[in-house]
Structure 1
Amino acid sequence: MDSPSDSDADHGADKWDRETRGENRAQQLDRNLSGLLQELRVVQTGVQLLTGFLLTLPFQNRFTMLSATMRWVYLGTVAASIAATVLLTGPVAAHRVLFRRHRLASVVRAAHHSALAGLALLGVAVTGVAVLIFDTVAGPLAATLAGAATAALFLLVWVVHPLYQRLTERVGETEQ
C-alpha cells in the first residue's frame, strides 16, 4: 500500500496529467510504462555486458593474483551485477506475464521499484569494478580512493542531485 505522501503525490500527478496533458489514468499508465521501458533499454545492455565481462574474469591468468580480499570484492561485484541484471530486466518479464490482465498500475509500480533497486545495484557493481581494476593496476590505496570516488559520484548524480531537484521543486510550488 502507498504511503500518504506517495498517494498525495500520485493524485497531484494524476490531476496535472488530466489538466495539462488531457490524459486519463490508462493513458498515463501507458505513457509511464513506455517511458520506463525505454529507460531500462538504455541500462539493460550495459549491465548485461558488465555481467558478462565479470563472469569471464576467473578464467583469466591474472585472476589468481587477486588477494583474498579482492576475491571477495569480486564476488560481491558479480552478485550485485547479476542482481542488477535480474532487476533491470524483470519489468519486461512482468509486463509479458501480466499482459492483457488489466494489471498495468501494479506493473508500472513494481517496474518502478525494480528499476530503482536495479540501478542501486548497478552502482554497487560499477564501484566494485573500479576497486578491482585500481587494485590490480595501482594497489590497495588507489583502489580505496577509486571506490570511494566512484561511490560518491553515483550518490551525487543518482541520489543527491535528483532529491535536491525534488526539494527545490516543492519549495518553488509552495511559493506560487
Structure 2
Amino acid sequence: MSDADETTSDRDETDGERADRNWNELLQEFRVLQTGVQILGGFLLTLPFQSAFGDLDDLQRGLYLALVLVATLCTTLMLAPIALHRRLFQQQQKLRLVHAGHRLAQVVMVLIGCLVTGIAVFVFDVVLDRPAALIVGAVMAAVVVSVLAVLPRVVEGPRTDS
C-alpha cells in the first residue's frame, strides 16, 4: 500500500464515514491500552498482600500509592469515551467524539508513560537501591518521551505547507 492510499483526501469516503473509521480506530487503540493498564494495575493491587510489603520505606510506600492512583486514573479516563458515546449516541456527534477521544488517548498515553516509568523506579528501588532506581527512571523517562513525542514526529517527516 502506498502513502497515497493512506491519505484521507484519497479515500472515497464521506465525512461521516471518515468519522466512523476514526472512531473505530480510536476504540481499538483504547482496547490495547486498557489491557496493558489492567495487567499493570492488577500487579500493583496484589503487592500489599505480600509479606515483604511491610518492609517498604515511606518513600517506596508513597511511590506505590502514587502508581496505584495513576493506574486507576488511566482506567477511569479510558471509560470516558464510552460515557461520551453513550451520551451522544445517535445525535450525529461522531466528529466531536473523535476529537474528545483523541485528546483522552493523548492524556492516557502520557499517564501510561508515567506509570511504566514509575513501576520501573519502584521495582529497582525495592530490588537494588535508590541510585539504581533513579538511573532507571531517567532512562525510562527518556524512552517514554522518545516513543510518545520524538518517534511520531520522525515518522511523520517534515511538514509541507501548501
Scaled by the length of structure 2, the TM-score of the pair is 0.88
Q: Which deviates more from structure 2 when the two are superposed, residues 87-96 or residues 99-108?
A: 87-96
Structure 2: 5+ residue stretches without partners:
1-6
By how many angstroms is 1:89 displaced?
3.1
Q: Please state which structure has a larger fraction of its residues in helix.
A: 1
Amino acid at match of 2:58: A
Matches within 5 A, 1:122-137: 122-137=112-127
Amino acid at match of 2:109: L
Structure 1: 5+ residue stretches without partners:
1-15
Q: List 4+ stretches of structure 1 deviating above 4 A.
A: none
Structure 2 partner of 1:10: none
1:169 partner SS: coil
CA contact (8 A) 1:74 1:132 kept: yes
Structure 2 partner of 1:27: 17
By how many angstroms is 1:100 displaced?
1.1
1:92 correspondence with 2:82? yes
Q: Deviations over 1:97-140 (max 9, x none)?
A: 32212211111111111111011111111111101111111111
1:146 partner SS: helix
Scaled by the length of structure 1, the TM-score of the pair is 0.82
Give me the whole-angstrom Cα distance separating, in 1, the residues matched to 2:72 and 2:139: 23
Greater RCO, CA 8 A, separation 6+? 2
1:160 correspondence with 2:155? no
Q: Deviations over 1:1-41 (max 9, x none)?
A: xxxxxxxxxxxxxxx63x41022210110010011111111
In the alignment of these two chains, the number of paired residues is 156
CA-atom RMSD in angstroms: 1.6
1:78 correspondence with 2:68? yes
Give me the whole-angstrom Cα distance separating, in 2, the residues matched to 1:85 and 1:150: 22
Q: Deviations over 1:155-176 (max 9, x none)?
A: 101111113334x330xx34x8
By how many angstroms is 1:92 displaced?
2.4
1:151 correspondence with 2:118? no
Identity of aligned residues (%): 41
Matches within 5 A, 1:53-72: 53-72=43-62
Structure 2 partner of 1:36: 26
2:13 partner SS: coil
